[in-house]
Amino acid sequence: MRNPIKFIQEVKQEAFKVSWPTGKETLQGALMVFLMALVMSLFFLLIDQVLKFFLEILLKVSI
């Protein structure tokens, strides 16, 4: 088993190598996720309403 102190030192060295996103990049990413969620929710709402319309027509015809 490896020395725990050496392991922690190596983890710390690797953490410094990570390139963290800037605040601006984080905000842009969050806004893109929100925008895509909004677009997809509107898309699925539209699809749901179209399918509901056709289903109601189909059920009225079969009665």
- The per-residue pLDDT for range 7-24, each reduced to its tens digit, is 999 999 998 898 989 999
How is residue 62 written in tokens?
């079969």
Q: Would residue 7 count as lying in a domain?
A: no
DSSP SS3 for 6: helix
Look at the chain and report how many structural domains it folds into.
1
Residue 36 has pLDDT above 80, yes or no: yes
Q: Would residue 50 count as lying in a domain?
A: yes
Query: Binning pLDDT at 50, 70 and 90, where does residue 41 land?
Result: very high
Q: Would residue 45 count as lying in a domain?
A: yes
How is residue 43 written in tokens?
């898309």
Q: What is the domain extent for residue 55? A: 21-62
29: Cβ contacts below 8 Å, ≥ 6 apart = 21
Alpha carbon 48 to chain centroid distance?
21
